[in-house]
């Protein structure tokens, strides 16, 4: 039996929101320019949709596809496997057979999606009956084992293609038109599916899952991300196609007859959930190469996507290609407007090279030199960040069984705890609603002063005050925590505010701190001495005695730092070193002809167990002191 005659039936492209046919060549060009296929064995199409890109690469590497909706993976399988469909057992060309009879069937579509019995005008009575017949006949052939699973999926793909040509819709299936579109009144034809003529290299692995549930399990070399762009949920917009493929006679509701989708998450279509989903996918993917296409009409901003790529991908590898195109608003008016489609590429960092940054932008935070500190955070089971501040060091420590964060400043502690305990989506919603409520803007003093006044008069007494304080902090001068003697916030207006850069830090930091089993404490560091033993790494980042840090003066609602405090810390270090713990200390030995003599003495007395690394930070030389006893019996 010959393959389906490609000359009789015209190839078509199914109407599908976000279809990549128009920018297919640009995506393939990125893959070619980067030579990604040279050493890549597995290509993962994580939101396969209609399978445009997977179909182009099916002869180059193994294909893995996933989509939350069954009809999408069925359609993609149909495209990928078309050239394998010979219909030897059936004994005839099924497309020709289905088009040369006029059989109808009074099935689910006739009863629910045509005007005859339901009033719904998705399909004419004639076409609904034919659709029911097509679906019945395909299922019958499969049950009788006259067609294989590969051929079954191909025919279902053809059916999906055929239905899209006569649907009385504007573009998606969320609603039908109230008047008949001329093409909806044409007699349906069972048409061929478009597919690349090249042969499929390997059997396709198929998933119908929420991507975040499987992303960490999929081993692949290249991942292609083409997530939904808009608030319109695909599960609703394409409910009819899902029902057609599943053939499960579902319970349907409402004017449009939509099926129940409680088991289908649509987080990619929900503002402030999509950012969280995207972050997790980028972090957990095992792919070496990441390609993503997205529209400027999407919920994710270009800046946010770029910030996420910068966190999880090798800096010099990241590229963004912008494609301008005119988009038709609908088929009737033919109105069009200018839009941009973006293609992002990045080479994934190894996980030990991914760094997190506290959204507090805490003064003295070590986010800018964490790559220097992180290699020393090892060889122990427990890490205690005894003066944690923004927790930039502790959160970047890998492979510890126990994490302790401590700071004496209760307000900083409560904000760090906020990122740990608050639902991230709800926290971001709160931040954005508060900004909108007070009309907070960068460099706008009036709204800032009103919000600061409300914080001091009422919000600071609330149990959840940390959320309000954090928003206030974002717009304050250098984002400093400054208070008067009554603990009223008195920091003046700054030049920064909330943006996608801040949002990305909130999302990534919150995910990471939630993943870690962190004990958050608000104590004097000396109270942690009993928790320290040989299995402990203690990270110590005190206020720098010989610099002019504003937190040193004791006039901003905090305990100051002076010679007495420095000496007390050195005494503490001398005590815990006898427990054979490992210490990593950030400090400054000399600054503007001043020396920290307490620290110099400690180094001299313990030089056989100390290594020092000098780090230039903002035109000054900081030191990283690593204390670790060796040859311990």
Looking at residue 232, what is its pLDDT?
A: 79
Q: Is the pLDDT of residue 33 over 90?
A: yes
Is the distance from CB of 85 to CB of 150 less than 8 angstroms?
yes
What's the pLDDT tens digit per position in 357-376?
A: 999 987 777 889 999 999 99
What's the mean pLDDT when you consider all of the chain? 92
Q: Is the pLDDT of residue 549 over 90?
A: no
Q: Is the pLDDT of residue 238 over 70?
A: yes
What's the pLDDT tens digit per position in 444-492?
A: 999 999 999 999 999 999 999 999 999 999 999 998 888 888 889 999 9
Report how far residue 7's alpha carbon sits from residue 11's, in angstroms, rounded to the nearest whole number. 9
What's the pLDDT tens digit per position in 239-271?
A: 999 999 999 999 999 999 999 875 666 899 999
- 286-313 core/surface letters (b: 16 or more CB in 10 A; e: else): ebebbbbbbbeebbbebebbbbbbebbb
Looking at residue 3, what is its pLDDT?
A: 44
- 365-382 core/surface letters (b: 16 or more CB in 10 A; e: else): bbbebbebbbebbeebeb
Report how far residue 470's alpha carbon sits from residue 354's, in angstroms, rounded to the nearest whole number. 25
Q: Would you call 24 helix, strand, or coil by DSSP?
A: helix
What's the pLDDT tens digit per position in 59-110?
A: 999 999 999 999 999 999 999 999 999 999 999 999 999 999 999 999 999 9
Q: Is the pLDDT of residue 12 over 50?
A: no
Looking at residue 6, what is its pLDDT?
A: 37
Please state the rounded mean pLDDT for residues 581-606: 95
Report how far residue 475's alpha carbon sits from residue 430's, in angstroms, rounded to the nearest whole number. 16
Q: Is the pLDDT of residue 201 over 80?
A: yes
Q: What residue ranges define each of the domains in the chain, with the CATH number in brackets?
A: 21-347 (3.40.50.150), 355-408+522-633 (3.40.50.150), 410-515 (1.10.1020.10)
Classify residue 402 by burial, with Cβ atoms within 10 Å: 0-12, 13-18, 19+: middle
Residue 553's pLDDT band, with cuts at 50, 70 and 90, is: low
- Tell me the C-alpha to C-alpha distance, in Å, between residue 101 and each of 54, 97, 110, 244: 34, 7, 18, 21
Q: Would you call 145 helix, strand, or coil by DSSP?
A: coil
Q: For the chain, give the percent of residues with pLDDT over 70.
A: 92
Looking at residue 261, what is its pLDDT?
A: 75
Residue 13's pLDDT band, with cuts at 50, 70 and 90, is: low
Residue 559's pLDDT band, with cuts at 50, 70 and 90, is: low
Both structure tokens of 315: 């800096």
Looking at residue 1, what is its pLDDT?
A: 42
DSSP string for 355-394: ----TT--TT--GGGHHHHGGGS-S-SEEEETT-TT-TTG
Q: Is the pLDDT of residue 291 over 60?
A: yes
- Whole-model pTM: value is 0.92
Q: Is the pLDDT of residue 336 over 90?
A: no
Most confident of 3-17, 224-238, 519-533, 616-630: 519-533
Q: Which 3-state string (H, E, C) describes 475-494?
A: HEHHHCCCECCCCCECCCEC
What's the pLDDT tens digit per position in 143-168?
A: 999 999 999 999 999 999 999 999 99
Both structure tokens of 298: 């999407």
Residues, the chain: 633
Looking at residue 141, what is its pLDDT?
A: 98
Q: Is the pLDDT of residue 552 over 90?
A: no
Q: Is the pLDDT of residue 325 over 80?
A: no
Looking at residue 631, what is its pLDDT?
A: 63
Looking at residue 333, what is its pLDDT?
A: 45
Question: What are the backbone dihedrals phi and psi of residue 128, each rounded to the nearest 5 degrees, phi first?
Answer: -60, -40
Q: For the chain, give the percent of residues with pLDDT over 90.
A: 83
Classify residue 239 by burial, with Cβ atoms within 10 Å: 0-12, 13-18, 19+: buried
Residue 633's pLDDT band, with cuts at 50, 70 and 90, is: very low
E strand segments, 78-237: 205-207, 222-225
């Amino acid at each position: 039996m010959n393959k389906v005659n490609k000359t009789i039936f015209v190839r078509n492209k199914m109407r599908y929101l976000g279809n990549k046919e128009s920018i297919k060549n640009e995506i393939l060009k990125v893959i070619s320019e980067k030579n990604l296929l040279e050493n890549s064995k597995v290509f993962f199409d994580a939101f396969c949709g209609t399978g445009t890109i997977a179909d182009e690469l099916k002869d180059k590497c193994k294909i893995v596809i996933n989509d939350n909706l069954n009809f999408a993976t069925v359609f993609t399988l149909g495209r990928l496997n078309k050239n394998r469909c010979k219909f030897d057992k059936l004994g005839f060309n099924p497309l020709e057979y289905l088009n040369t009879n006029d059989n109808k069937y009074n099935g689910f579509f006739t009863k629910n999606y045509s005007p005859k019995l339901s009033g719904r005008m998705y399909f004419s009575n004639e076409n609904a009956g034919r659709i029911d017949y097509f679906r019945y006949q395909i299922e019958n052939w499969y049950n009788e084992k006259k067609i294989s699973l590969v051929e079954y999926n191909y025919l279902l793909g053809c059916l999906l293609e055929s239905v899209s040509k006569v649907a009385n819709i504007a573009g998606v299936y969320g609603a039908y038109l109230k008047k008949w579109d001329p093409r909806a009144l044409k007699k349906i034809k069972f048409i061929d599916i478009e597919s690349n003529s090249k042969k499929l290299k390997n059997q396709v692995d198929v998933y119908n899952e929420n991507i975040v549930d499987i992303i960490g399990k999929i081993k692949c070399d290249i991942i292609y991300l083409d997530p939904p762009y808009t608030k319109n949920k695909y599960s609703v917009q394409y409910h009819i196609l899902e029902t057609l493929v599943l053939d499960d006679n579902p319970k349907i509701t409402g004017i449009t007859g939509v099926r129940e989708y409680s088991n289908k998450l649509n987080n990619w279509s929900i503002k402030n959930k999509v950012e969280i989903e995207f972050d997790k996918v980028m972090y957990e993917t095992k792919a070496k190469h990441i390609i993503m296409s997205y529209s400027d009409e999407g919920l994710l901003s270009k800046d946010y996507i770029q910030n996420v790529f910068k966190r999880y991908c090798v800096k010099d590898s990241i590229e963004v290609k912008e494609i301008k195109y005119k988009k038709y608003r609908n088929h009737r008016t033919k109105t069009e407007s200018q839009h941009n489609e973006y293609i992002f590429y990045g080479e994934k960092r190894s996980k030990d090279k991914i760094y997190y940054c506290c959204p507090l932008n805490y003064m003295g935070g070590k986010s800018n030199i964490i790559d220097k500190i992180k290699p020393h955070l090892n060889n122990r089971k427990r890490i205690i960040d005894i003066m944690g501040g923004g927790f930039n060091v502790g959160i970047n420590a890998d492979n510890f069984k126990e994490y302790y964060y401590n700071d004496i400043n209760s307000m900083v502690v409560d904000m760090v705890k906020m990122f740990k305990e608050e639902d991230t989506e709800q926290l971001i919603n709160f931040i954005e609603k508060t900004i909108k409520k007070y009309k907070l803007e960068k460099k706008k003093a009036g709204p800032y002063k009103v919000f600061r006044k409300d914080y001091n008069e009422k919000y600071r007494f609330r149990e959840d005050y940390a959320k309000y304080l954090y928003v206030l902090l974002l717009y304050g001068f250098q984002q400093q925590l400054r208070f008067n003697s009554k603990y009223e916030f008195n920091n003046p207006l700054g030049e920064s505010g909330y943006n996608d850069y801040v949002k990305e830090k909130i999302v990534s930091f919150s995910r990471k701190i939630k993943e870690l089993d962190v004990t958050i404490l608000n104590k004097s560091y000396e109270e942690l001495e009993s928790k320290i033993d040989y299995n402990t790494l203690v990270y110590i980042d005190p206020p720098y005695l010989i610099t002019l840090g504003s937190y040193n003066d004791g006039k901003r609602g905090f305990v100051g730092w002076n010679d007495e405090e420095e000496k007390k810390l050195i005494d503490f270090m001398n005590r815990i070193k006898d427990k054979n713990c490992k210490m990593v200390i950030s400090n400054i030995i000399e600054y503007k002809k001043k020396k920290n003599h307490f620290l110099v003495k400690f180094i001299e007395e313990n030089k056989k167990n100390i290594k020092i690394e000098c780090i230039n930070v903002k035109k000054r030389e900081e030191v990283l002191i690593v204390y670790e006893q060796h040859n311990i019996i």
